[in-house]
Structure 1
Amino acid sequence: MTYLTFLAIYLLLSVAYLATMNRRPYPLSWLVKAAPVLLLAIFALGEADGTLRWLLVAALLFCAGGDIALEWDRDRLFVLGLALFLVGHLFYVASFLLEPAWAGRPVWVIPLVLLTAGLIARRLWPNLGKLRGPVVAYIIVIVAMACSAVLREGGSWLVIIGALTFMASDTLIALDKFHRPIPGAHYYIMISYYLAQALIVTGLLESL
């Protein structure tokens, strides 16, 4: 599959879910939601090599599992979905840090990530209740994911922007659920999520 063909199919699958979100739940909506990321996993399996291949595929599969859990029952399976995404982020961290580096990297991004995460955690804290532990653990891991993207030797800006966009998507989820409802939040969340995944995979593969 050429990159342009993959990108066109990925875009179509993403739009298919976005266009049908207001009809949920419907049969197999969980598969429609996860399909773009599953396509990324298939593409990565064919295009990546070595350790990166398996780390990247694992990250994408766990994220797809999180998609399925949250689509199946967002309330009852929220913690499961959170856990699956957390593991996915850990695989991303491992893939980014296969060749870590400080020299020449835009390390100024890291303090901004830490400051943003701290402000978000402070805003969410009063409303987290029993979910404080899982949510704080998730925040720590996604911050690690964003920071490790910065520290990847020879890393593309696409990977960094993708990681930050992923963090923004998850921030919208948290604010919508634990702070105050955001009109149209699910559309913003999914658009930024699909964009983030595509940017990360594209950035990782272009550096090979």
Structure 2
Amino acid sequence: MQSIAVLVALLTAADAVTDWTCVWTGRRRIHYVTKPLVMVGLMLLVGLVSEGEPAAWWLVVALFFGMLGDISMIGSSARRFLGGVGLFFVGHLAYAAAFLALGLDTPAWSWLGFAVAVVLAIPMGRVLRGAREMGGVPMAAALAAYSLVIATMLVLGWLTGSVWIAVGALIFVVSDTLIGLNLAEHGNEPPRLANLQIMVTYHVGQALITAGVLLAL
């Protein structure tokens, strides 16, 4: 079983690198396949390594909704983007539940997560203005709610006391912040999600969170 888990981890990493290459070279059709497959690989890895612990189940739920969000955001319409935001909203709630299931050790350094969340929230005014330009008040409200749940995920991730989870949650939020800044700059159209920096931080963040939860079990 361990050798199979290692093989799945290697294949998932190879798929992520392939996806980044597709983004870099503009091969969007392949990107639309390789991006959600990374989430599939991480889910398989959790299933192979864990033994049915509640935190592992919540982690699978989070990754599953991340995969659905990836699929929803294929294309460039505001409706698909908003659908993806809703799916990732549920995914972040599941991440938060996984962290709570692990238990919050709250070492002294982990309280810095609150300060990190505040710093990353600084651009939100610009992001919400861009969201309102793209989809009106409903879009701005949806992103405001999303920002609250991802900030909660970040803080709880830090409070677990796992450096892997803390760094992963931070990188994941950085990925979403890059999307938000893109939206702030191009508010009259959906943000450009096929961006190398966004994709690398997106995959690395979730991979580190997954590793942190599995190591903590």
> Which of the five TM-score ranges fits, normalised by the shorter chain?
0.7 to 0.9
**Root mean square deviation, CA, Å:** 2.4
2:182 to 176, 185, 205: 176
**Residue type of the partner of 2:206?**
Q
Listed as ranges, the gaps of 5+ residues in structure 2 are: none
1:100 Cα deviation from its structure 2 partner: 3.5
Query: Which deviates the most, 15-24 or 182-191?
Result: 182-191
1:12-60: CA deviation from partner (whole Å, max 9, x where unpaired):
1012212223022x2x643321001111011112212221221111100
Query: How far is 1:82 from its partner?
Result: 0.5
Report the AA paired with residue 197 of structure 2: Y
Describe the superposition over 1:92-151 as per-residue Cα deviations: whole angstroms up to 9, x where unpaired: 000001143354242332332232243121232332212210010010000000001012
Q: Which amino acid aligns with 2:150?
A: I
- Taking structure 1 as the reference length, the TM-score comes to 0.88
* Aligned residue among 117, 136, 146 for 1:138: 146
Taking the aligned partners of 2:11 and 2:58, their CA distance within structure 1 comes to 23
Q: Which residue in 2 is equivalent to 1:203?
A: 212
1:30 maps to what in 2?
32
50-59 or 164-173, which moves further after superposition?
A: 50-59
Structure 2 CA distance for aligned equivalents of residues 74 and 159 of structure 1: 32
Q: Is the 1:128–1:178 Cα contact (8 Å) retained in structure 2?
A: yes
Residue identity matched to 1:207: A
CA distance in 2, matches of 1:141, 1:192: 19
If asked which structure has higher relative contact order (CA below 8 Å, sep 6+), I would say 2
Q: Which of 21, 36, 56 is 1:19 aligned to? A: 21
Percentage of identical aligned residues: 29
**For the residues of structure 2 that align with 1:55 and 1:170, how far apart are their CA atoms?**
21
In the alignment, does 2:203 pair up with 1:194? Answer: yes
Larger mean CA deviation between 86-95 and 41-50 belongs to 41-50
TM-score (norm 2): 0.84
The farther-off stretch of 112-121 and 57-66 is 112-121
- What residue in structure 2 maps to residue 68 of structure 1? 71
Q: Which runs of 4+ in 1 moved over 6 A?
A: 181-185
Check the 8 A contact 2:43/2:63 in 1, yes or no: yes
Q: Is the 8 A contact 2:129 2:140 kept in 1?
A: no
Counterpart code for 1:186: N
Q: Which moved more, 1:198-207 or 1:5-14?
A: 5-14
Q: Which has the higher helix share?
A: 2
Q: Distance in 2 between matches of 1:184 and 1:85?
A: 14
